[in-house]
Every structure is written in C-alpha cells, then in structure tokens.
Amino acid sequence: MLKIISRISLTRIVLLGLLLKLALFCYISPWNKNVEKNRIVVSDSWQYEAIAENLLKYHTFSSPVDTITPAHFSDYRLTGYLFLHPDSYREPGYPLFMAAIYFIFGIKPFMAILVQILLSSIILIFCFKIALLLFNNEAIAKLSTLLVAIDIHSIFVANELLTDTLLLIFFLPAVYHFLKGMKNYRWQHFAYGGILSGLACLTKPIVLLYPGVLLIIILFFSAQPKVWSIKMVLLFALLCGGITSIWLIRNRVDYGHWQMTTQGGNDLLFYYSSLSEQRVSHNNLDSIRVKFQREADSAGFKTEKDIFNQSAIYKQLAISYISSHKLPFFISHLEGGRNMYLSIGNHSLARTLGWANDKDDSQQFAVMNSQRVLSNFKKDKRETLLGILILLIMLVEYGGTAYGIMKLYIDKQFMFIILLVLTVGYLWAIAGVLGSYRYKLPVIPFICVAAAYGYVKLFSKKDKSLTNSAG
C-alpha cells in the first residue's frame, strides 16, 4: 500500500482535487442566471456580492446613498436590518477578491468561483508542505493531501460564493511559515506568516484569535530561548494586527468606531441567545428573535441612526440574557461545536445541487437528533447517496485520526497532537451554536495529516508483516 502511495505524485493529487471541484462546478452550472439567482448569490453571498459591486461601481465599500430607515420596518424584518449594511457587517477580503475578478471579467459570480477553485490548489500544496515539514515522510504528506483533496465538504464550499476557501488559501500558508520559522529559526518566516494571517483575518474573523494557539505551540515546543520565541510571536502578532487594523481604521473614519464589524452584537442576540432561548422555551426561532427585537426597539434601536450603536444595543441585550441563562448557553455552545464536526450537510448541499427546493432557514443549523438525522436519508435518493458518501469519507478521516493520535502519542509527537487538539477546540469555541460543517474547514488539513500518520503507520506494519511472512 505504501508503495502505491509513494508512486502518486503531488501534481496528480492536486490535479485530482482540481478535477473534482471543476466537475462539480460544471454540474452546478453557476453561469446559468437562474442558478446564480436562486443557488449562488443567496444569504451571506448576497452581502459579499453587494460590497464587490459597490467597489466596482462607486470605488467604495458602501453604497453612496443610504435610503434604508428602520422606522418603517416590521419587528420581524428588523431582525435582519444590519444585513442591509454589508460593508459594516462583513470584512473586506472576500469582496476585494470578487471585485478584482469582476474588474477583469465583468460582474460574473461564476468567474469568481472558478478562480477560487483554481487557487484552492494552494491549500493542497501547503497541506503537503506542513506534513512533510513536521514528519519528513512523503507517504504521510501525500496521503494527507489526498484525503483533503477528496473531502466532499471542501469540494462543495469551493463551489460556493463564500469566504471559507479564500480563508484557507491564506490561513494554511500562514501556519506553515510559523512552523517553518520554529524549525529553521528564521524571523522571515514569522514575518510571512504574520502577513498571511492578517489577510486571513480580513477575509473571515474566525481566525482572529488563532495566533494565541500558535503562541502556546512556540512557547512549549521551540528549542530556542523563551526570549527569542516571544520576539517571534510579537513580530507575527504585530504584522497580523497591523494588517487587520486597516479595516479598524476604515471603520473609524467612515463610522466613528474602532470595531471590525457590527456582526458581533447581531450574532450574539439572534443566534447565540436566540438558540439558547429556544432550548429553554421550545418556542419558534423567529418568534424568539422578534421578542428580542422588540426589547431592542424599547432600548432605542429604531431611533438610533448609527449602525454600530445599534449593534451595541443587541450586544447589551445578549450579554444580559446570557448572564442569566449561563447553563443553556453553555450547553447550546457545546452542542453547536459537536454538530459542526459531525454534521453531514447533505441537505444543504442538495439545495446547491438543485435537488432540494425548500426554503426552511432552520436547515442552516446542524442539529444532532434521530429525527433530523433520519430526515437526511428520506427525501431524495441522490441526497441519501450523497449523505452515505459523506459519512464514509468522514469515517475514513475521523477513524484514521483516532488511530493516528494514538500512534503520535506513542511516537512522542506531542507538538502536533497539541496543535491539532487546540485547533479543534479553538474552532469549537469560536463557531459555537451555529454548527455548520463549513466552519470546521480550517482544521480539516490537520485532521487529514493525523489520519495519514495513522494509516501510514498501520500500512507499514502490515507491509513489514507480509515481508516477514514471505521470508
């Protein structure tokens, strides 16, 4: 088995990953206007699209004229009011990427997806480089890259107008350069890593605090003196923070606030608090959100013209709710992280493929119960087969990781174990109640490296045993 893996070149693995994504791209046909409208430029993608078009048409992130006033909105519609100001709700990285593609090819979302797919090959290359750097074993590096290449969630997300793939294009090289700097004791790698990490933060804020994980790794596992390690972390953090602060400065100039986005208050109230309250009251999620919105209106939301202050009103209400419902919030948070790692996601993927037409927003949340899981296998034969395929691939990844961690522990590869565990825990803590499978994508390369380590150790044991038997 190891001989077969060794014969596969990295180029072929990268081409395989690329072909799988391109095959799905052709199946979805995002150049079709109906597909674009109903399955591509929807939900979060609509916000990125709006910012990109503003950049192209007006050379600014926001529309020059804001005619939206909350006074005329119903309480239900107000729960999505901050979405209508996407330049304050989202980070600039992905809209800038889209605007650059639109500048060259015209406003064609499918071209942004196509370029995104091509660039996603960088993820496979750096997965290979990280595994090779850590273990100096081509079989482990190639197998881990192959596992990432066939990961269905990664393939699907690359075909969506979302930030996750671009995030990984910056995030994985950033981690590689950090680890490379630890090994080679060269400050340049920490500088490269800091810059790339800053670009990742401007793409998706989920990695904003991840340098804390890397700080733990270098302080405990670097062979260099602690003073040197602290200096390198400061260099990494300063460059990362310097790039990220560009958006803080922009929001200070345009809105008068030193904040990255208005997303925090909105998500805390309408996702974290609302889903926790649903656990307590068992009421309809929309009715819970309307109740919170009315509380916000009583606190001055409708009369407040500053969207960052409106977000602050949401945040105050959310903190007040969470502080008095700590246990439901904590349990919902834990379950959301569990759901993120165990979610099949075949129903939402089926909608992207055009196999399912329901508009139930609750389907965006991964819920682990027998009724919900069984519903994934009752609606459409194609959807059922897709779910089974995803389960098999997840079984290969997670089963291999479990064995891999055991072998890593036996072989005293503690640094990678800690890196993997902290990354899993970090994403669990940050993603919280949302529980969508796509939030786990930054850790998938690390999971696949651990799985590859386990499988290579297992195959080498079997190959040795076969050789001894033949002898």
User: pLDDT 10s digit of each residue in the chain, 471 long?
Assistant: 677 777 889 999 999 999 999 999 999 999 999 999 999 998 899 999 999 999 999 999 987 777 677 777 888 989 989 998 999 999 999 999 999 999 999 999 999 999 999 999 999 999 999 999 999 999 999 999 999 999 999 999 999 999 999 999 999 999 999 999 999 989 999 999 999 999 999 999 999 999 899 999 999 998 888 899 999 999 999 999 999 999 999 999 999 999 999 999 999 999 999 999 998 998 999 999 999 999 999 999 998 989 999 999 999 999 999 999 999 999 998 999 999 999 888 888 888 888 876 554 444 454 555 445 556 566 678 888 999 999 999 999 999 999 999 999 999 999 999 999 999 999 999 887 888 899 999 999 999 999 999 999 998 876 555 445 544
Please give the DSSP secondary-structure letter assigned to residue 365.
S
- Classified as helix, coil or strand, 364 is helix
Which helix (H) or strand (E) segment holds residue 330: the answer is: helix 326-342
Residue keyed to tokens 């500048």: 103
Helix H or strand E segment including 406? helix 381-410
Please check whether residue 344 is in contact with residue 374, taking contact to mean a CB–CB distance below 8 angstroms.
no
Q: How far apart are CA 378 and CA 374, in angstroms?
A: 7
Q: What is the rounded distance in angstroms from the CA atom of residue 251 to the CA atom of residue 263?
A: 13
Extents of the domains making up the chain: 168-203+209-249
* Continuous H helices in 185-281: 187-203, 211-221, 226-255, 263-267, 274-281
- The answer to whether the CB of 465 falls within 8 A of the CB of 416 is no
Kindly calculate the radius of gyration of the chain based on its CA atoms and give it in whole angstroms: 23
Q: How far is CA 185 from CA 190, 193, 232, 233, 298, in A?
A: 9, 14, 9, 12, 57
pTM: 0.92
**Of 160, 159, 251, residue with least CA distance to 205:** 251
pLDDT for 459 equals 85
Q: Give me the pLDDT at residue 419, please.
A: 97
What's the pLDDT score for residue 466? 43
CA-closest candidate to residue 149, choices 112, 122, 189, 111: 122
The whole-number pLDDT of residue 274 equals 94
Measured distance CA(361)–CA(95) in Å, rounded? 24
Cα 365 from Cα 372, distance rounded (Å): 11
pLDDT at position 377 is 62
How many residues are listed for the chain in this entry?
Answer: 471
User: How far is it, in rounded angstroms, from Cα 383 to Cα 421?
Assistant: 32
